[in-house]
């Protein structure tokens, strides 16, 4: 299923969840109505959306090449056989042109806006980052991984 199909499925699931939340919140005849606010899906869903980032030997696969500005939730999963991490970098440099030294990107020369810790094989992490419109690069900054091609571009609109 392509990215447009996944977005339709995600939108449909969010709509169903919202309808279920509304149905469950409706008072019934045996319970008194409450004045407490009911949490809605809209209040907990990030404005920027969600991006799945799958880490594996020597690639980062993203569910979409672009997202809307706002809070973007990265659902990160290490499907590789060795530890990986995810570093979110705001930059106008090409994804493969980041400065490196000793097998690592030089983080002090870049604008790091979010990161996970190293994830062991099979582990996952949810990372929420507020992203403004611009160009970003997602990298694994374990020694040698970026130089082996483990990076992906992301545009925030």
Looking at the 3D structure of the chain, how many domains does it have? 2
Percent of the chain predicted with pLDDT > 70: 70
Burial classification of residue 84, based on how many CB atoms lie within 10 Å of its CB (0-12 exposed, 13-18 middle, 19 or more buried): buried
Q: Residue 44's pLDDT band (boundaries 50, 70, 90)?
A: very low
**pLDDT at 39 exceeding the cut of 50:** no
CA quadruple 54, 91, 98, 93: dihedral sign: positive
pLDDT for position 1: 55
Q: Cα(149)–Cα(89) distance, rounded to whole angstroms? A: 16
**pLDDT at 9 exceeding the cut of 70:** no
Domain that holds residue 103: 47-156
Buried residues in 13-25 as b, exposed as e (16+ CB within 10 A) = eeeeeeeeeeeee
**pLDDT at 54 exceeding the cut of 50:** yes
pLDDT for position 28: 40
| Whether residue 77 sits in one domain with residue 34 | no
Tell me the per-residue pLDDT of 87-136, one tens digit each, with 9 for 90 and over: 999 999 999 999 999 999 999 999 999 999 999 999 999 999 999 999 99
| Whether residue 86 sits in one domain with residue 51 | yes
| Whether residue 77 sits in one domain with residue 26 | no
Tokens coding 47: 């404005």
8 A C-beta contact, residue 152 and residue 62:
yes
Closest to 51 measured CA to CA, from 91, 88, 106: 88
3-class DSSP assignment, residue 19: helix
Q: Residue 32's pLDDT band (boundaries 50, 70, 90)?
A: very low
| Whether residue 54 sits in one domain with residue 34 | no
């Amino acid at each position: 299923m392509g990215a447009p199909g996944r977005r339709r499925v995600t939108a449909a699931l969010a709509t169903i969840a919202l309808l279920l939340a509304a149905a469950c919140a409706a008072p019934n005849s045996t319970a008194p109505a409450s004045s407490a606010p009911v949490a809605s899906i809209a209040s907990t869903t990030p404005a920027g959306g969600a991006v799945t980032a799958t880490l594996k030997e020597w690639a980062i696969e993203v569910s979409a090449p672009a997202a809307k500005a706002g809070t973007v939730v990265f659902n990160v999963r290490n499907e590789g056989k060795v530890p990986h991490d995810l570093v979110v970098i705001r930059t106008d440099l090409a994804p493969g042109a980041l400065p490196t030294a000793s097998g690592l990107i030089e983080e002090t020369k870049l604008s790091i806006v979010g990161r996970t810790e190293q994830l062991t094989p099979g582990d996952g992490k949810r990372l929420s980052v507020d992203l403004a419109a611009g160009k970003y690069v997602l990298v694994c900054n374990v020694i040698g991984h970026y130089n082996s091609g483990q990076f992906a571009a992301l545009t925030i609109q």
